[in-house]
Structure 1
């Protein structure tokens, strides 16, 4: 994201994909390399990176997410990480979309809010909605810091 006149705009987005056939260690190495490549592509990224303060429900997923989170934090050791709770993200999404009740808590509402905020109809989101979640984390962080309205 980039900010101009107190409004965030999309610069680029995507996922770091790893090969599911590789061992955990090799996949974590791919994740680390991907993060370093992004940092190299955007050297003016700043010193603070907002990061979702994760919540997981399933044991197997928890282990995998914990491993990936460790690599992410290691890769970003030279940056200050600013945790953003997913509840804050969903609250922002409800404010943007006006969707309330159970529908306002759904992951799809975050994607809808991101599309509405940026004024885009299409978003190349992944099945799990991680791209829109990450974009929303960035927006909530910028709003919290008073950088955007």
Structure 2
């Protein structure tokens, strides 16, 4: 059997970036921790991004993940909001990369389909399935639950990603 892999899932947001850590050992998943990194909305964009950078760095230092998975940005109708979310997402991708960790990215619909079985599930359905799949998880926010869903999605899909990467190397 493959060794246990500690996975950090990130659900990026400028106000709150959810994070969740699980251990994947074969087909078994175990809850480790979850929470949110928050930025102060009264500060400048640069200061808020710095807060996210420092917070995600602390999560990585504390929970020492082996791999990281980040939810891809859902683009909404407001271009300003989409740009700010994109910048927060950039922080969520670059901080683990700077720590030398592999970063996988997953579309929100794939995360929901993997965890709930429906690509357009709502947040309550995701939270319910997190309680089923990780009974010891105590998610205090929807952002933390979403981050755990991203980690679960990665645990389910990482084997295929590894196989595809190996095929590319040998080709």
TM-score normalised by the chain length of structure 1: 0.79
Deviation at 1:120, TM superposition (A): 5.0
More strand by share: 2
Aligned-pair Cα RMSD in Å: 2.3
Q: 1:81 aligns with which of 100, 103, 128?
A: 103
Shift of 1:114: 0.7
Alignment deviations for residues 70-127 of structure 1 (CA, whole Å, 9 cap, x no partner): 22222122222111111112212333xxxx7x9x6222211111111112585311xx
Say if 2:53 is the partner of 1:32: yes
Q: Which residue of 1 aligns with 2:15?
A: none
Say if 2:128 is the partner of 1:112.
Answer: yes
Give the Å deviation of 1:32: 0.7
The question of whether the paired residues in 1 share the 8 Å contact of 2:31 and 2:136 is answered with no
CA contact (8 A) 2:130 2:148 kept: yes
- Contact map agreement 1:89 1:110 (CA 8 A) in 2: no
Structure 1 gaps of 5+ residues are: none
- C-alpha contact 1:53 1:83 (8 A) present in aligned 2: yes
Residue number in structure 2 paired with 1:133: 146
Q: Which residue of 1 aligns with 2:36?
A: 15
**In structure 1, distance between residues paired with 2:92 and 2:25:** 28
Q: Which stretches of structure 1, 4 residues or more, deviate above 4 A after TM superposition?
A: none
Instruction: Confirm or deny: 8 A CA contact 1:50 1:137 kept in the other structure.
Output: yes
Distance 2:134 2:140 in 1: 13
TM-score, structure 2 length as denominator?
Answer: 0.70
State how many pairs are aligned.
136
Stretch of structure 1 that moved more, 111-120 or 10-19: 111-120
